Amino acid sequence: MSKAIRIHAHGGPEVLTYEDSDPGQPGAGQILIRHTAIGLNFIDVYHRSGLYPPPGGFPLIPGGEAAGVVLAVGAGVGGLQPGHRIAYAVNVGAYSEKRVIAADRVVKVPDGISDEQAGAMMLKGMTAEYLLRRTHKVKAGDTILYHAAAGGVGLILGQWAKHLGATVIGTASSVDKVELAKAHGFDHVINYKEQDFVAGVAAITGGKKCDVVYDSVGNDTFPASLDCLRPLGMFVSFGQSSGPIPPFSMSLLAQKGSLYATRPTLFVYNAKREDLVASAQALFDVVLSGAVEIKINQRYALKDAAQAQSDLEGRKTTGTTILIP
């Protein structure tokens, strides 16, 4: 019998239980895979806590990112065979030794990228890809602000934004995190526990402020993030690690400088197979070229997923984290 982390009701990390779980056999268009490395993401916390409803109800196997090996293919699946190394980013189901998944949601992992790297980077890295290349097309000379710069998405996005030629400003909550972010593409990092980040951004930019703010912290950084934008700048709210932002009036965007605001998700940006493939390829390219380095900063056994989530929520992790089945 295969093992998985399942939850039967919303709650704290203690609701993550390590149980027997039959992955089943692949149907038409599906593949059965054995996971080799599973990525840890903040969205897993939202599914556990109930901030996001459980897709498919309970019991729920959380987890949106992993790498693995194909064990069997269902009818009508082309291009994949047992033994192929694959990776993916989806909504749930990754906290498991084995799973069945739609073949059109996975991509083959190229030589030169390890299973651990692929398992750690698909969701975070393709998020960095669409944020930088599609939500706002970052170009040389742009100035961007990214909160929680030393986090999983942050260390990837910082390197990629630097590679695109932007001036990259970040925030982080400790001296060590500030230094780590500076080693991963961020030109300036503000310790937002110690310093007002709006004043910090104004000082760094000589009052010109930023073309785009990527805000996944949410409640604690809103509405101050809007004050870091130049007129007609783009506010990208793509997460809420400190809690959701409160409802606000559209007229606030007018008052703050005719701003744009969007609330994007990876799953909409990569819903079409062609977009998923292009997004994954762009990520593989920057990693294989050396422009973006993927280091694994924390490793836990799959059965210890509760500890891993507790550390992520407790702001104890940096960069990417994997669970080993």
Ligand X SMILES: NC(=O)c1ccc[n+]([C@@H]2O[C@H](COP(=O)([O-])OP(=O)(O)OC[C@H]3O[C@@H](n4cnc5c(N)ncnc54)[C@H](OP(=O)(O)O)[C@@H]3O)[C@@H](O)[C@H]2O)c1
Regarding 242 and contact with ligand X (CB under 6 A), the answer is yes
- Beta carbon of residue 277, minimum distance to ligand X (angstroms, whole number): 18
Regarding 17 and contact with ligand X (CB under 6 A), the answer is no
Q: Which of 16, 30, 38, 42 binds ligand X (CB under 6 A)?
A: 42
Closest CA to 323 of 104, 18, 69: 18
How far is it, in rounded angstroms, from Cα 196 to Cα 312?
Answer: 24
Q: Which is nearer to ligand X, 123 or 306 (CB)?
A: 123
How far is it, in rounded angstroms, from Cα 92 to Cα 53?
Answer: 11
The percent helix, strand, coil of the chain (3-state, each to 5) is: 35, 25, 40
Regarding 43 and contact with ligand X (CB under 6 A), the answer is yes
**8 Å CB contact between 263 and 235:** no
Regarding 177 and contact with ligand X (CB under 6 A), the answer is yes
Instruction: Give the burial string for 296-312 (b: 16+ CB within 10 Å, else e).
Output: bebbbebbbbbebbbbb
Q: Which is nearer to ligand X, 21 or 41 (CB)?
A: 41
Pairing of strands 143-146, 167-172: parallel
Regarding 313 and contact with ligand X (CB under 6 A), the answer is yes
Regarding 184 and contact with ligand X (CB under 6 A), the answer is no
Q: Which residues contact 85 (CB under 8 A, 6 or more apart)?
A: 67, 68, 69, 108, 109, 115, 118
**8 Å CB contact between 131 and 154:** no
How far is it, in rounded angstroms, from Cα 80 to Cα 292?
Answer: 27
- Beta carbon of residue 207, minimum distance to ligand X (angstroms, whole number): 25
Q: Which is nearer to ligand X, 6 or 177 (CB)?
A: 177
Alpha carbon dihedral 81, 85, 90, 95, in 10-degree steps, equals: 110
Q: Which of 266, 276, 282, 305 binds ligand X (CB under 6 A)?
A: 266
How far is it, in rounded angstroms, from Cα 279 to Cα 142?
Answer: 22
Q: Which of 30, 36, 96, 216 binds ligand X (CB under 6 A)?
A: 216
Q: Which of 41, 96, 225, 279 binds ligand X (CB under 6 A)?
A: 41
Q: Which is nearer to ligand X, 2 or 174 (CB)?
A: 174
How far is it, in rounded angstroms, from Cα 162 to Cα 160?
Answer: 5
Give the CA diameter of the chain.
61
- Beta carbon of residue 129, minimum distance to ligand X (angstroms, whole number): 11
Q: How many CB atoms lie within 10 A of CB 238?
A: 18
- Beta carbon of residue 82, minimum distance to ligand X (angstroms, whole number): 31
- Beta carbon of residue 156, minimum distance to ligand X (angstroms, whole number): 8
Regarding 265 and contact with ligand X (CB under 6 A), the answer is yes
* Span 44-103, contacts to ligand X by CB under 6 A: none
Tell me how many residues contact ligand X (CB under 6 A).
Answer: 30
- Beta carbon of residue 83, minimum distance to ligand X (angstroms, whole number): 30
Regarding 124 and contact with ligand X (CB under 6 A), the answer is yes
* Span 127-156, contacts to ligand X by CB under 6 A: 127, 148, 150-154
* Interface residues toward ligand X, by CB under 6 A: 41-43, 123-124, 127, 148, 150-154, 172-173, 177, 216-217, 220, 238-242, 264-266, 312-313, 315, 317
